[in-house]
């Protein structure tokens, strides 16, 4: 597999996809941040936050890809597709836990390894959704596709964090645009590199 790395093109296409249905993606982002960060704050309980993060972060992240994949297939995105990640609940939860541990280690001790590790496993969630792979197979498939271009993809991840920071600085609400926009660019990159199934594969 020899991907053509075109970060500018991916971001540009992701931007256009976002602005075709900004309300859908904006509401999805509001729902995501409310569930992931609002639940623990509401109950004022760190344990509730940790539990909600480990159980729901993976499936909800997959939801953004489901919405964008609908657009890439030429369909109108429906908000119900945002919950497609719950059809692959277990592999997304397991992937979320593994990636959390890996990335915490990478970013805690040295910043650069964090970018590299995040880049290597960038396509884990789209692979789980589109190809219905198990979490480990998805992680290994992602890193095999990325590793020859790891520095380019690491720059892509660095740009992501710069965009996220800019979104937060813009009254905090910019993240509601930047977060789904970057997810859209990853969906485009995935489609270019792996090819998109005409219809989601059945759960195996």
Domain ranges, ordered by start, for the chain: 7-194
Q: What is the pLDDT of residue 143?
A: 95
If residue 167 lies in a helix (H) or strand (E), which one and from where to where?
helix 150-169
In contact, 82 and 63? CB cutoff 8 Å: yes
d(CA 11, CA 182): 7
In contact, 165 and 176? CB cutoff 8 Å: no
Q: Which of 198, 197, 189, 187 is nearest to 18 (CA)?
A: 187
pLDDT tens column, 103-150: 988 888 776 688 999 999 999 999 999 999 999 999 999 999 999 999
- The 10 Å Cβ neighbour count of residue 102 is 17
Overall pTM > 0.75: yes
Residue found under tokens 């890193």? 143
d(CA 9, CA 25): 20
Residue found under tokens 């590299």? 116
* Per-position DSSP letters for 35-62, written without gaps between them: IIIIHHHHHT-HHHHHHHHHHHHHHHHH
- The 10 Å Cβ neighbour count of residue 3 is 17
Q: What is the pLDDT of residue 36?
A: 85
d(CA 20, CA 24): 9
Q: What percent of the chain has pLDDT over 90?
A: 70
pLDDT tens column, 164-199: 998 888 766 889 999 999 999 999 999 999 999 876
The first and second tokens of residue 180, run together, are 């789904």
In contact, 55 and 19? CB cutoff 8 Å: no
Residue found under tokens 């660019």? 185
Residue found under tokens 């190809």? 131
């Amino acid at each position: 597999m020899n991907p053509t790395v075109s970060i500018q093109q991916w971001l540009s296409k992701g931007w256009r996809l976002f602005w075709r249905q900004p309300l859908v993606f904006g509401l999805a982002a509001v729902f995501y941040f409310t569930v992931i960060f609002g639940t623990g704050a509401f109950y004022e309980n760190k344990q509730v936050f940790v539990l909600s993060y480990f159980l729901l972060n993976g499936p909800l992240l997959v939801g953004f890809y489901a919405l964008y994949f609908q657009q890439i297939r030429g369909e109108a995105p429906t908000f119900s597709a945002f919950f497609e990640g719950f059809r692959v609940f277990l592999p997304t939860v397991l992937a979320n836990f593994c990636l959390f541990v890996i990335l915490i280690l990478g970013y805690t001790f040295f910043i650069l390894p964090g970018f590299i590790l995040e880049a290597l496993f960038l396509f884990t969630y789209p692979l789980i959704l589109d190809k219905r792979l198990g979490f480990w197979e998805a992680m290994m498939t992602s890193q095999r596709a990325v590793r020859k271009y790891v520095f380019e993809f690491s720059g892509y991840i660095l740009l992501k964090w710069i965009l996220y920071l800019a979104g937060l600085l813009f009254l905090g609400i910019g993240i509601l645009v930047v977060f789904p926009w970057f997810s859209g660019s990853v969906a485009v990159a995935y489609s270019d590199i792996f090819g998109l199934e005409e219809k989601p594969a059945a759960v195996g």
